[in-house]
Every structure is written in C-alpha cells, then in structure tokens.
Amino acid sequence: MVVTSDSESGLDIRRLCRTGDFVEPTSGRAPGYVQCNVVMMPADSAHHFLGFCEHNPRPCPLLAMSEAPGSVALTALAADIDIRTDLPQYRIWQDGMLTERCDNVTHVWEDDWIAFALGCSFSFEEALIGAGIAVRNIIEGVNVPMYRTNIPCTPAGPFAGNMVVSMRPMPAADAIEAIQICARFPSVHGAPIHIGDPGHLGIDDLGRPDFGDPVTLHSTDMPVFWACGVTPQVAVENAKPALRSPTNPATCL
Amino acid sequence: MVVTSDSESGLDIRRLCRTGDFVEPTSGRAPGYVQCNVVMMPADSAHHFLGFCEHNPRPCPLLAMSEAPGSVALTALAADIDIRTDLPQYRIWQDGMLTERCDNVTHVWEDDWIAFALGCSFSFEEALIGAGIAVRNIIEGVNVPMYRTNIPCTPAGPFAGNMVVSMRPMPAADAIEAIQICARFPSVHGAPIHIGDPGHLGIDDLGRPDFGDPVTLHSTDMPVFWACGVTPQVAVENAKPALRSPTNPATCL
C-alpha cells in the first residue's frame, strides 16, 4: 500500500501514516512492495464497482477488497492494515464532488463500507529504474502527467467514463524494454496501451495534462502511455450517487 | 530450416529441396518449425565468423553449426540434414562478389567447410500472425523490406559492417504486442531494436529498402524494426576473403 527507501517495509510506512506522521506520495518508497490506489464506498454500490474493475482490468487491476462490509483489513494483501488510517492522504467525494481532503477517514467510515486496492504504476516505475530506464517524472521531481483519453471503459452500473492514462517519455529503445518489463506486471497496469502519437488517444497537448504535472519531452523521446489508476476516480465522479468514496491521492493524484 | 503449411514438416520441405522440387522462399511454410538463415565458409575463416555471431546475437542468433569441418549435417538442429542440398536456393560469393545462384552447392562444397544456421524472422512472423497481428509484407505478398542502418556491428576478424534491419509497419497497439511476443524468441532476433522515426537508424526513405520490397505504410502505422539475418551477408561481403560463402537467399533476400 505504501513503502519506503531501502529496508523500509510497507508496514513501516503504514504505521507512519496511521499516526499522521507520513502524508506524502509513496512513489519510490518501500522498494519491493506493491503500491496501490485505494477506493472505498458503501456496499450497495460496491458490487457495481467490482464489476467495473473486472470489466476494465488494465486501468483497474484489483489486488484486494474487504472480505466483508465494514472490514477495515485487507488480509489478502498484508497483515496489520487499517484502511481508514493507513494511507498518507484521502479524498472524499459526495454526489460526485470532492468535498474533503484528510489523512484518515475514521470520522466518515461506516460499517457497510467496502475498500478496494488497485495496483498502481508506482510499482512498475521501480522495475523500470532497476533496469536503468530514466523515468522522467521522477528525475524532474514531479507527479507523472495524466490525460483523459477518448477510450471508453466498459461501464458497470453507475460507474462509467473514459480511460485515464499516465505518460512517460523515453527514447524508443527504452520504450521497447519498458514494454517487455511492464508486461510482466499485469497487476500494476501491465504493458503500455499506446506509444507515439497522442492524437490517437484524443490528447491534444502533452504539455497540459488533466492530472499531475507536465514533464519535458526531448526530440528523441517517444511518449509511452499506460492505463492509469485515476480512471476509477473519474468513474466515481461520473457515478454521482449519494456516495462517499475516499481515494488515496498519494498514489493517484 | 524450411517448413510448410499445416501438417508439412521441416523434413518434408528439406526433402523437396534436396530433389530440386522446392526453390521458393520458405516464409509461412512448415508452421511450428524454426526457420534459419544459413552461411557456409572454409574453416580458416569460420572461427572469426563464429566470433561475429557471438558478438552480435541480435542480428546473428546462432542456432547450430557443423560439428566438424566438412560435415554436411547439423545434428543439433535436426536429423537428416544435408546442408549442401536441403535449402531452396543458395548464393555464392567469391572475393566479396556474388558469383552464382544455384539450388545446391554440391559442386563447390569442400571438406574444410563449416555451415552456420542462424535464426530467421520468418519464425516470429508465424507467432505474430497467430496473435492476430497483420504482417504487412505477407498480406501484400512481397518480401519484407530491409534497410542498412548506421548501427555498427562488433567486428570479428575480417567480418564487420553495419546492422541490417527488417521493417514491419503496424498500428501502435500491435507494435506493443509484437514487442512482447518477439521478446520470447531471442533465437530468431528477439524484440525489435527500434520503433518509430527511421532517421534514428540513418534510414532516409522507407519506400526504398536496400533489400527486399517496399510495403504500404498507413497513416496510423508505426514502423517497427528488427535486427535482420541479412546482416551477416553484409559482413561476408565486407570480409572479401578468397571465400566461397553460400547463403540461403530463400530466407534472407
């Protein structure tokens, strides 16, 4: 869920989050541990959201969900998780509107809530760096640029919307290697969904991302696009139910 | 070495070649059998050529070589091979010049010759087609376009030269899948070495290949470049020894 440098474990970071002592993005932390985007919502919407993940596994690779409504553990993922407190930050939507940012959701959690943990691209960035590939957003110290595309997700109940992609520019030889590396990690978005012309995805201007920050593109770079964990956030906004659905901004925005 | 449609085996095709009854390119034949480029030369040059293959495994993936000078078998590859007769066609170079085309080399074979079998891209084309990827040169019924690049091979003795690449245009989504598929076949050139801008390889005009035939590029296509088995032919031309070195044109030109 969260991780740090060198010997730091996921649990180390979760405990820091739990006490409010860690409120930063988790990119690059706890190497070797999978990173997740987290979405929570009332059980009466959750079965539709589960369907949305199953229909759209590239942007929404489901790693774990609450075993029962109200359960704050995700035992399939790790021991000692309290999903209400163990993320660095949360965002709360109500009726499709972002209403609050906070470092825990204990005050709004209800006993019919279900939490979903979805694989995050922060995990494969670690693998790319390990293979000697320069990840531009990390080098430039900014969040990865993300864009709304013209690719519709398969809807499920009220959850619908177009896929959001993250983009990392790199030379073609690195792109070829990145495709091979990321294909080995289907649970954290897998291989890129597109390389080259952004117009193919309906993206007009790479310099103006819809989420995150712009990064530099060199003349020898090729933009490489991955399905992104912000996709479910857009689907939650579109759902506009009387729905409180905190997501983890540390790993998705 | 050679293969045919459906139930046809490599041996079936080799036997047809042996009797002079098959003199065509082997692309698409004997599915499931590996396809090779073959190079033969006197033993006193062969150790350098072996070094050239070892130094440049992407264009020259060595699958088998004669166990001893003069041996016409390649037992590591298959039973019942006579390398003097079992290819559809041969080309003979002398002093770096192409001097003869023929359907066997029995008349020039000497007892100090060594044969090399190198993996050929015809093998991975079968895997691409199996995955539903349209291979443009096969659809258009022509040989794949090949280009001399600005990428120097690592020389070995007299063998030196720039890498030759084959190019197959396809939509980006297919290119991403082709990279994953071909990475699984390092013995037949493996993953592409470049995607996108041909100028990066020193290629001015995709419409004018140095070997093979031009193919159509659609506006949504991305050119995808693989290391090519014509590379050793260029190295043989450059070596210009008093060297007779038939290669199998059916699989490389």
| Residues in chain B within 8 Å Cβ distance of A196 | 172, 195-196, 222
Q: Does one domain contain both B106 and B160? A: no
- Determine, yes or no, domain membership for A65: yes
* A-B C-beta contacts closer than 8 Å: 46
State how far Cα A200 lies from the chain centre.
Answer: 23
- Determine, yes or no, domain membership for B177: yes
| Residues in chain B within 8 Å Cβ distance of A149 | none
Question: Which residues span the domain enclosing B100?
Answer: 10-121+239-252
pLDDT of residue B93: 84
B77 CB within 8 Å of a chain A CB: no
Instruction: Say how far apart CA A85 and CA B11 lie, in whole Å.
Output: 67
pLDDT of residue A99: 87
A203 CB within 8 Å of a chain B CB: no
Could you report the per-residue pLDDT of A97-116, keeping only the tens digit for each? 888 899 999 998 999 999 99
Torsion, Cα of A81, A83, A89, A95 (10° steps): 170
Q: Does one domain contain both A51 and A115? A: yes
Query: CA nearest B209: which of B152, B151, B137?
Result: B137
Q: Does one domain contain both A201 and A246? A: no
Q: Which of B176, B183, B193 sits opposite A195 (nearest CB)?
A: B176
Query: CA nearest B123: which of B26, B188, B168?
Result: B188
Secondary structure element (H or E) that encloses residue A173, with its range:
helix A172-182
pLDDT of residue B224: 98
Mean pLDDT of chain A: 89
Could you report the per-residue pLDDT of A110-136, keeping only the tens digit for each? 999 999 999 998 889 989 999 999 999
Residues B80, B85, B89, B91, CA torsion sign? positive
**Could you say which DSSP state residue B198 is in?**
G
Tokens describing residue B209? 């290949």
pLDDT of residue B239: 86
User: Nearest CA of chain A to the CA of B227: how many Å?
Assistant: 13
- Determine, yes or no, domain membership for A103: yes
| Residues in chain A within 8 Å Cβ distance of B196 | 172, 195-196, 222
Q: Do B194 and A172 count as a contact with CB atoms less than 8 A apart?
A: yes
pLDDT of residue B241: 57
A172 CB within 8 Å of a chain B CB: yes
Q: Do A222 and B172 count as a contact with CB atoms less than 8 A apart?
A: no
Query: Do B45 and B241 contact (CB within 8 A), yes or no?
Result: yes
pLDDT of residue B246: 47
Determine the residue of chain A that is closest to B199 in CA distance.
A220
| Residues in chain A within 8 Å Cβ distance of B131 | none
Low-confidence ranges of chain B (pLDDT < 50): 1-5, 242, 245-253
Q: Does one domain contain both A134 and A108? A: no
Q: Does one domain contain both A117 and A14? A: yes
pLDDT of residue A241: 56
Exposure letters A185-206 (e unless 16+ CB within 10 A, then b): bebbbbbbbbbbebebbebeee
Tell me, what's the ipTM? Answer: 0.77
Q: Does one domain contain both B111 and B14? A: yes
Q: Does one domain contain both B217 and B246? A: no
Enter the pTM of the model.
0.83
- Which CATH number does the domain housing residue A115 bear? 3.40.1640.10
pLDDT of residue A178: 97
- Residue bearing tokens 């649970």: A187
Determine the residue of chain A that is closest to B182 in CA distance.
A180
- Which CATH number does the domain housing residue A199 bear? 3.30.2040.10
List of residues 6+ apart from A11 with CB closer than 8 A? A78, A79, A80
